[in-house]
Every structure is written in C-alpha cells, then in structure tokens.
Amino acid sequence: MSKKQYDYLIVGAGLFGAVFAHEAKRAGKHCLVIDKRNHRGGNIYCEDVDGIHVHKYGAHIFHTDNKEVWDYVNRFVEFNRYTNSPLACFEGKLYNLPFNMNTFYQLWGVKTPAEAKAKIAEQRRKYDAISEPANLEEQALKLCGEDIYHTLIKGYTEKQWGRSATELPAFIIKRVPFRFIFDNNYFNDGYQGIPKGGYNVLIDRLLEGTEVRLDTNYFEHRDELDALADKILFTGCIDEFFDYQCGRLEYRSLRFDHKRLEIEDFQGNAVVNYTEGSVPYTRIIEHKHFEYGTQPTTVITYEYPDSFEAGKEPYYPVNDERNSAMFAEYQRLAAKKENVLFGGRLGQYTYADMDDTVAAALQLCAQVL
C-alpha cells in the first residue's frame, strides 16, 4: 500500500495542535494543519489594531508553576513581566482581586490580617447552621459571609452560568481563597507574562515550516482530508467527531464586543470585572495594558456570557454528572479509533489553562512520536 501524503492531519491550529505540529516536525514527521477559522492560534489569536494586540477571544495570561513548560514557550518568544491584577466594580465602587487585604480594607476598613480574619469569622458565623449547603448560594455564604458574596460573587457567577445561585450546585465553589496580604497578583504561580508581540508570535514560530490550511472545515471535507494522512490529531469537539451518537455535550459560550476608542486610556487596567447582576457583561478588557502600550488610541472589549447552541463557539464545559458520563462514553469510542488522537480542551472536554495545554500536548508527543 502506498504511503499517504502526510504522517499527521492536525485538525485545529490552536495551541495544542501547534505544539504537536512543532514536535512532530522535529521528529521527522510530515504534517498538515487545518483550521475552520481564517486565522491560526485558536482562542489565543490576537488581532493588531493600531499596534495593540487585541485578545480576540478574551483575556489570555500565561501563568505556570511548571518550569519545563515555561522554558519551552520561552524558546519561541520572550515574555514580558505582566502580572494579572484584575479589579471588580460593584455599584460604582472598585475592589481589588483576588480577595486580599486591599479588598478587605475596601469592604470594611480593616487594616490588619487579624482584623480581617475576625470580620470574616463574624460574617460566616451567621451561617453556621448550614451543615450541608443545598446550592452555590448557601455554600458561598457559609464560606465567606454575606458582604463578599453579595458584592463580589453572586452577580458575576449568575451571569457566567446563566442561572440563579440558588439553582447552581454547591460544588462549583469548593473554597474561597483569602489572602491576608496586600498583594493584587491574581495567580500563585512562579512564572507569568504575555508574549512580547502577542500570542501570534508564539503560534507562528511553533508552526514554522508546517503546511497550514485555513478556512477549511474538517467535517465538510472529511473523506478527502482523512485520505491524506496516516493518522489524525483532532482538537475539535469530540461529540461532533462522533456525530453526536452519545448525545450533545453542554458548554457555556461567550460573546465579545470590541470597540476602538480615540482616547489614550479607558480604565487604567487590563481587566475590570463587573459583579452586579444588572450589568449584562462580566468584564471589560483593555488590551494595551497587557503589553504596557503607549499608543494614542485604545481598544476595549465587553465580554458577555452566552448560552451555547449550534453556530456559537464552545468555551466552558459544563462538567456536571450528566455531561461527565456522556464524555466517558465518547472516550470509550475514542479508544477504539486506532489512528485518531484527541487533544485540546474540546477534544478532552475540559477547561484548560495554556500551561496545561502545552504540557498535555508535550505528553502526547512523548507517547506517540
């Protein structure tokens, strides 16, 4: 039997597919990468507007404790020192995130860790009678008390999930992390930053020397594309690959409204969350602040949570009991596909940070290449 044109057909030019393509090329494999969108990079794609790298699909901050992964991505692009320090806006007042001494001072005027701990304990005491929280609201009140819950958690969470906090399961919030220090760094990881020049630089360098076809929908040309390669790496929705034969997995979606403004600075910070339920968007992103931009204009993005349906982008898996059981069925089907690999957040039905995505791709490479 004659050898096919490519060793691997990689469906999806996002971070997972790009890392795999790079490592496959290094291993002497010939790959074809396809993507249904008109650009590479998946959800980390950046659009250049006035020299500002606009995170087209929402804020992406690379953070990790995995030195191997950090060293790996730094081989392709230098990262800046950006530190994620979001703000929350509630009824016109700003609060620092994550929940730290700045937040507690803004809420209650407390100035020491001892005062903050006493105030939180006092607020939690009211809910001691709740032994088994029946929903997310009861869980959050038991963990942090009413001020933090109503100001910073309730409205934001209800918008994200499109359901009342009394209808959401308690397990969504397992704990509320309090930091009794004046430090607004959102992440605990040792390494953090944004690629200088934006994420496109990282993706382009990973895919250097690999053939990429954009505006190519795998499902519209499936037989023709399958015939080109010995093996397939599929990073799209696993239920779609199997024609939904076990049912449709649920997701939450997002909608983005980008605006270019003829002003130098809109909000003075990259990310401001809006925690009131009455405000329809969950956050406003100002992209220039990811890279300390000094452009005379700015670009902001209103991020809206959205229900998922055909034609919309799937973002967050709904990892409840029903969907987890359905995904397990798809995994059993996937295990029977000898020449198909599944990867990425959609192929693995998971919410994955970028460092986890890189690590998972490298792990797969080590297994199969």
Handedness of CA 185, 188, 191, 193 (dihedral sign): negative
Residue 303 appears among annotated catalytic residues? yes
Of 180, 185, 231, whose CA–CA distance to 367 is shortest? 231
Of 258, 256, 268, 273, whose CA–CA distance to 86 is shortest? 273
**Catalytic annotation, pick one of 7, 35, 303, 355:** 303
Distance CA(299)–CA(291), nearest Å, equals 13
**Catalytic annotation, pick one of 81, 132, 175, 223:** 175
Tokens describing residue 33: 């990468």
Residue 353 appears among annotated catalytic residues? yes
**Catalytic annotation, pick one of 283, 286, 315, 349:** 283
Residue 175 appears among annotated catalytic residues? yes
Of 138, 118, 136, whose CA–CA distance to 128 is shortest? 138
Which residues, other chains included, contact 159 with Cβ-Cβ below 8 Å and sequence gap of 6+? 277, 280, 282, 305
**Catalytic annotation, pick one of 179, 239, 274, 315:** 179
Which residues, other chains included, contact 294 with Cβ-Cβ below 8 Å and sequence gap of 6+? 288
Instruction: Tell the residue number behind the tokens 């009455």, with chain if given.
Output: 278
Of 206, 208, 212, whose CA–CA distance to 74 is shortest? 206
Residue 125 appears among annotated catalytic residues? no
Residue 322 appears among annotated catalytic residues? no
Residue 355 appears among annotated catalytic residues? no
Distance CA(173)–CA(275), nearest Å, equals 16
Residue 149 appears among annotated catalytic residues? no
Of 74, 40, 302, 282, whose CA–CA distance to 191 is shortest? 74
Query: Which of the residues are catalytic?
Result: 175, 179, 252, 283, 303, 351, 353
